[in-house]
Chains A and B, each alone.
Chain A
Amino acid sequence: MRNIGKITKATAVVTAGVLALSACSSNGGGDADATGGGSTITLAWDQEYDSYNNTTAGANSSKNAIVNHGLTSGFWYFGEGGKVTPNTDFGSYELVSEDPQIVEYSIHPDAVWSDGEAIDCADAMLWWAQQSGRYDFSVIGTGGTEDTLMPDCEIGDKEFALEYEKPYADWASNGPSNGNTTMMPAHVVAEQGGLTTEELVQAIRDEDNDALAEAAEFFNEGWVVSGALPDAELIPSSGPYKLASYEAGQSLTLEVNENWWGEAPATDNIVVRWIASDEQTQALENLEINIMRPQPTVDLIDQLDALEGVQHEVYDEYIYEHLDFNFDSSPFEEYELREAFAHCVPRQLIVDNLIKPVQPEAETMDVRNISPFDPGYDEAVAASGGDEWAEVDLDRSRELLEELDMVGQEVRLGFIGGNPRRAQTAELIKSSCDEAGFDVQINAEDTFFDTDGGLSQNTYDVAMFAWSGSAEVSGWNSTFRSPEECTADGKGNNNGCYSNDELDGLLEDILQEPDFDNRLEIINEIETILWDDLVTIPLFSHPGTAAWSDNLGNIVPNPAQTDIVWNMWEWTAQ
């Protein structure tokens, strides 16, 4: 008995201690108002920077893009709302001839690398050599540039031209940009490759891959950051900022490039700190970071709402969720069955239950190839009739199933495991379609995207995943084109192996249509076919979030790959 008494006492004491602790914290909770970061703005990012050259296939990732965006500049960038925006600081370009299609580029006369070397034809030649894919330089994709002729210019020239062998619709966003299609410094590549700049350009002209071997080796591997930044002379900047310092696993600092010829950036230093996304909210509350860009969840939005001195915004990203039918080996080859399924997929309910809690004004996405915030979306919806499929019509769905004599038809809904929102979406589809008379099997596979996984092997009847979109028409073109053969390697992005000659013609046309309004017309026709034939069912565009201390100015979220940093040189801190 004696011991029990003591234990009770001890418990009481501990409880009192806890109470004291909480009393202390709640009473003390005042406002420690910050004066802001002065001329430093700190951005939190989940993944660590690892290459100064994100134009290579392996380093093309947002962790590098958000930093290199400020280090580099080019003729255009993804500006406000993700639109292709000419960068007049860097130079100018124009379409001078439509047939043959020729685009003339003119670099600003004052344009120099941060080490003082002029930005000129040599850099453009290296850029072209890489983007054309004909050399050993690693490249992300060669679309567009592979069909251009080699530019004809001399070292020191500030002008060059790209001549297309066949018209290319996205010519305006095909020249050197910043980030992952920027011009890399030719003088650095030449020196590291044991060449003079003249020899480098000559080797490119001669398509002499042997002479370029060392240069290509450096280009592909030499700018990888392991443990420390490469030597300062290897990483010159062509943008408003340059790399100042790097602390492995901790942070990276950008400082103003004093050789930048355009308008000086508003903030002296941008610091990127690498912090796991779950830990960013508390860091923002404790003023250790100023900007965060997490994935939105209901909990997170609630947390952000409760923070004082923090602003946040939920917005559409260029990513949309959709259902893809399998036209190769599933009962959905039958149009009526697709129609029955389309009638039971609760698109509105999915948005209401899963997206609206984080983004109250969210709507269903009713076409595939224009994002809801892009011009022409409403027209495309009206033209294609996509908005008619928002609400379910279970009676019609059951009627169709009965006509087909397929009530109780088993359909496999395949998607990648480990994503709670997708699993919830699948549950909503299952409960609605089972009611209509389907028997939906939920196939969440961890290896769904692998070569031996469900998507490649077509072991699904309907697949659910997301495509990342963009304002460029070349980005989604192959998704709906008839595949050469329906195998894992042969079908490309057209996973369900849908095939339609009329659609193929329209897709070819749009790729060569330089006029924006005409392109929108073709998109309307394409979307009409995609809805009439129920090729895929778009569900919703993914919401993104950004939160920042409210003493910052000019923070504008952006749906494009350049993300929140698209206008980092305009950021201000009071």
Chain B
Amino acid sequence: MLVFIARRLVVSLFVLFASTFVMFVLAANVGDPLADLRELPENDREAAMAERIERMNLDLPVIARYFLWLRGALTGDLGVNRQGQDVNILLTDAISATMQLVVAATVLAIVIGIAIGIISALRQYSGFDHVVTFGAFVAFSLPIFWVGVLLKQFGAIEFNNWLARPTIPTLVIVLVSVLVGLAWSSLMVGDRRTRLLAFFGAGGVTAVILLWISATTWFADPGLGPVVIALSALGGAVGISVLVCGPKPSRPMYAALTAAVVGTVLSFVLTPVLADPNLLIILGLAVTTVIVCVGIGYGFGGVLHRRNAIATAVWTGLFTGGVIFVDRMLQSFASYSRSVQGRPISTVGAATPNYQGTFWETSLDSVGHLALPTLALILVSLATYTRYSRASMLEVMNQDYVRTARAKGLPERTVITRHAFRNGLIPITTLVAYDFGTVIGGAVVTETVFGWRAMGHLLLTGLNEADPAPIMAFFVVSGGAIVVFNMVADIAYAYLDPRIRLS
């Protein structure tokens, strides 16, 4: 295995090395780096050209320029662009912007995509499955620049306008409730009566919530309140323990419920701390939550259920923490909205320039700026994940060992979570690793539409200005990332799949 990795690494390095040469020659010939200067008035033209020729070494042949670049690059100096800006610094800024923009979107797309894919595999050929398939293909074929512009119009401008008087028209309430009802009823296994019950139950609850939101103009000054926090925490506890160890009351479930109750109570006790914390405090609270929940799980679990009890307690604790976090953000929404002239969702940029506020307000500022680009990226990349995980899950579900597991009388929940789900994820690991590699190369169009200047912008400007230094910086990082993550994918695959590891 080690030899295999080493060999891959060496070969990849040579490939990368050779491709920098090809890339440099291409980049140096992509256009005329002096084009813009030729249109200057005659008196100004010469000096400007001379300056740029000197800075970009245009008087040397391309090969010589490549080796000059390589000498710098090997010592960690990627040179200057044609304006004399330090490319190392430009690259650092670009990478950090790209990370902010794409990491959340990629993680969310993976989690949501896999979840939807697996559910639609478990309910193959149901209404839900068809809708998901249809939706995935629609989203997959949407051009992102168009999605971006539409999102900006409806998700930002119109939404912000609507926030001034946030009531929901009756027609919308009816339609949304029907949709939610349909979704739930198609997920239910059972006879017509169960489905009808699910339809009316889910639809009715949705309608009531929407009516309440509309009547209280909840969106003008949102928040969850103690009741909703407590209900969500307890609901989460039950849900998580059902997933982990089934619907019967058991020690892990008690642990989870205890964690939920402790979390809810603490949310009131900690009010002064939560008024204006910083990131460190939040992370500290998360760590404390984990430690406390491990303790709860340890105490409740007994010898037999200790592992499951600790897992359910920790997940429930973190979930409760998440609910409290969201509640705090929502409580600050009204004041944040006021501070940005009632327009909390932004169409461009990474932050409101010079914005100052509490931790919650600055977080909302980031969320307001990230919401639309993240949504756009999720929409278009969701399809791949749903389709892949659906196919992979279906394949696993038809394997002999799954039938064996069912035959020996295991409950369906155990068959799915223990036997099918884990193995179904193996092929997706490759996809995820590869995706992370390409994502660093940036989301060029998304960046442009939403006014971010990240990796894609670095490349585009370099191409437009026929300036090799930024192009090469982009290439080294994105090419390197693809090489590394491809290898990570291979290694992960070998690690996860014993058939490969042991062969």
Residues of B within 8 A of A276 (CB): 448-449, 451
User: Which residues 332-366 in B have Cβ within 8 Å of A in the complex?
Assistant: 341-343, 345-354
22 residue pairs A–B, Cβ–Cβ below 8 Å: A6-B125, A20-B179, A32-B160, A32-B161, A32-B164, A32-B342, A34-B342, A51-B83, A57-B50, A58-B52, A138-B47, A138-B51, A224-B83, A226-B84, A245-B354, A253-B353, A275-B348, A276-B448, A279-B449, A468-B41, A478-B42, A492-B42
Residues of B within 8 A of A282 (CB): 149, 152-153, 156-157, 347-348
Asked if A271 contacts B354 (CB within 8 A), the reply is yes
Asked if B175 contacts A16 (CB within 8 A), the reply is yes
Encode contact with B along A17-43: 1 for CB under 8 Å, 0 otherwise. Answer: 101110111011111101111001010
Q: Is A450 in contact with chain B by the CB < 8 A criterion?
A: yes
Given A140-B48, A273-B353, decide whether A27 and B169 contact each other with a Cβ distance below 8 A: yes
Q: Is A97 in contact with chain B by the CB < 8 A criterion?
A: no
Residues of B within 8 A of A57 (CB): 44, 47-48, 50-51
Which residue of chain B has its CB nearest to the CB of A452?
Answer: B32
Residues of A within 8 A of B43 (CB): 141-143, 474, 478
Asked if B134 contacts A253 (CB within 8 A), the reply is no
Of A27, A274, A286, the most chain B CB neighbours within 10 A belong to A286
* CB contacts between A and B, total, < 8 Å: 222
Interface secondary structure of B, over-half rule: helix
Query: Which of the segments A7-15, A83-91, A361-369, A510-518 contacts the partner chain?
Result: A7-15
Interface positions of B (Cβ within 8 A of A): 32, 34-35, 38-39, 41-44, 47-48, 50-52, 55, 80, 82-86, 89-90, 92-94, 97, 125, 127, 130-131, 134-135, 138, 149, 152-154, 156-166, 168-169, 171-172, 175-176, 178-179, 182, 341-343, 345-354, 448-454, 457
Q: How far is the CB of B353 from chain A (nearest CB, A)?
A: 4
Given A10-B130, A14-B131, A493-B42, decide whether A286 and B51 contact each other with a Cβ distance below 8 A: no
Given A250-B353, A253-B353, decide whether A50 and B44 contact each other with a Cβ distance below 8 A: no
Asked if A30 contacts B164 (CB within 8 A), the reply is yes
Residues of A within 8 A of B162 (CB): 24-25, 28-30
- Checking B84, B449, B451 against A58 with a beta-carbon cut-off of 8 angstroms, the contacting residue is B84
Of A16, A60, A276, A288, the most chain B CB neighbours within 10 A belong to A288
Which residue of chain A has its CB nearest to the CB of B47?
Answer: A57
Q: How far is the CB of A410 from chain B (nearest CB, A)?
A: 27
Residues of B within 8 A of A139 (CB): 47
Which residue of chain B has its CB nearest to the CB of A56?
Answer: B51
- Checking B41, B92, B153, B176 against A20 with a beta-carbon cut-off of 8 angstroms, the contacting residue is B176
CA separation between A17 and B179, bound complex, in Å?
A: 8
Asked if B347 contacts A31 (CB within 8 A), the reply is no
CA separation between A3 and B129, bound complex, in Å?
A: 11
Given A32-B342, A279-B451, A282-B153, decide whether A225 and B85 contact each other with a Cβ distance below 8 A: yes
Given A32-B160, A58-B83, decide whether A9 and B127 contact each other with a Cβ distance below 8 A: yes
Which residue of chain B has its CB nearest to the CB of A493?
Answer: B42
Interface residue count for A (Cβ, 8 Å)? 82
Residues of A within 8 A of B176 (CB): 20
Residues of B within 8 A of A285 (CB): 157
CA separation between A48 and B138, bound complex, in Å?
A: 36
Asked if A140 contacts B47 (CB within 8 A), the reply is yes
Given A7-B130, A225-B85, A450-B35, decide whether A286 and B347 contact each other with a Cβ distance below 8 A: yes
Asked if A7 contacts B134 (CB within 8 A), the reply is yes
Asked if B182 contacts A13 (CB within 8 A), the reply is yes
- Checking A10, A20, A143 against B131 with a beta-carbon cut-off of 8 angstroms, the contacting residue is A10
Asked if A249 contacts B44 (CB within 8 A), the reply is no
Closest 8 CB pairs of A and B: A249-B453, A28-B162, A227-B89, A226-B85, A141-B43, A57-B48, A57-B47, A251-B353
CA separation between A492 and B42, bound complex, in Å?
A: 6
CA separation between A253 and B355, bound complex, in Å?
A: 12
